[in-house]
């Protein structure tokens, strides 16, 4: 099994790269998706979040009001750290369960937005960083996700710098390119990952 960490700043296009890798045969462990699952109604995770942040972070139907919680934590590093201390251990435990159920020769892609921030690079055989210029991130967040510029900049500032992400990268995928070029890059990377998985070593 080859354990790959996939990361990139918000708006970099990790989801598209993940989708392409899955199309080639990768096993995907999506930390964002798991992070939503561990705070669904009735979970210990949601109970802990409400205890920490108050019932105001719940929507009328009892689910977590993610935009409301986001507006709290992304404006306050201490509150963000508190949320991470609740959610990240739960995500880690579930991720390990999924990883352990994968085939011995699988290429397991762990899509982890905060990989650099949480010092997780040593836990993977190699790290892929999806890289774009900050201006591209800002454009995608405001134009495609409908964020205000201030909100987008706050989300970006809450993450590691582009330079810190690139420092931990074993492979960099440039997503400041048209889709057909991105597809070509991912296909080349996939061939390399399969080779590494078969040889049983990261490099």
Provide the pLDDT for residue 185: 97
Assign 4 a pLDDT band (cuts: 50, 70, 90): very high
Helices (H), the chain: 14-24, 31-37, 44-53, 66-73, 77-100, 134-143, 149-157, 162-167, 179-199
Is residue 2 within 8 A of residue 108, CB to CB? The reply is yes
Assign 162 a pLDDT band (cuts: 50, 70, 90): very high
Is residue 155 within 8 A of residue 141, CB to CB? The reply is yes
pLDDT digits (tens, 9 = 90+) for 96-110: 898 899 988 899 999
Lateral strand order in the sheet of 27-30: 27-30, 107-111, 2-7, 126-131, 171-174
Average model confidence (pLDDT) for the chain?
93
**Pairing assessment for the beta strands 126-131 and 107-111 based on DSSP bridges:** unpaired
Question: Rounded to an integer, what distance in angstroms lies between the CA atom of residue 179 and that of residue 174?
Answer: 11
pLDDT digits (tens, 9 = 90+) for 150-160: 999 988 998 99
**End-to-end alpha carbon distance in the chain:** 13
pLDDT of 138 > 70? The answer is yes
Tell me the mean pLDDT in the region 40-63: 96
* CATH number attached to the domain at 36-104: 3.40.50.300
Classify domain 1-26+106-203 at the CATH class level: alpha beta
User: Where does the chain hold its CATH 3.40.50.300 domain(s)?
Assistant: 1-26+106-203, 36-104
């Amino acid at each position: 099994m080859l354990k790959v960490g996939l990361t990139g700043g918000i708006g970099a296009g990790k989801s598209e790269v993940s989708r392409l890798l899955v199309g080639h045969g990768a096993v995907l462990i999506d930390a964002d998706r798991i992070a939503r699952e561990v705070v669904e109604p009735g979970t210990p995770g949601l109970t802990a979040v409400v205890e920490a942040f108050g019932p105001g972070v719940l929507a009328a139907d009892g689910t977590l009001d993610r935009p409301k919680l986001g507006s709290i934590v992304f404006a306050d590093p201490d509150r963000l750290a508190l949320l991470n201390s609740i959610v990240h251990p739960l995500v880690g435990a579930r991720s390990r369960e999924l990883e352990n159920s994968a085939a011995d020769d699988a290429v397991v892609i762990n899509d982890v937005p905060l990989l650099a921030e949480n010092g997780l690079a040593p836990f993977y055989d190699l790290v892929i960083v999806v890289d774009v210029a900050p201006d591209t991130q800002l454009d995608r967040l405001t134009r495609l996700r409908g964020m205000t510029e201030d909100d987008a900049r706050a989300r970006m500032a809450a993450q590691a710098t582009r330079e810190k992400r690139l420092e931990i990268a074993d492979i960099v995928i440039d997503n400041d390119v048209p889709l057909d070029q991105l597809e070509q890059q991912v296909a080349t990377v996939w061939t390399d990952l399969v080779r590494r998985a078969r040889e049983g070593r990261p490099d």
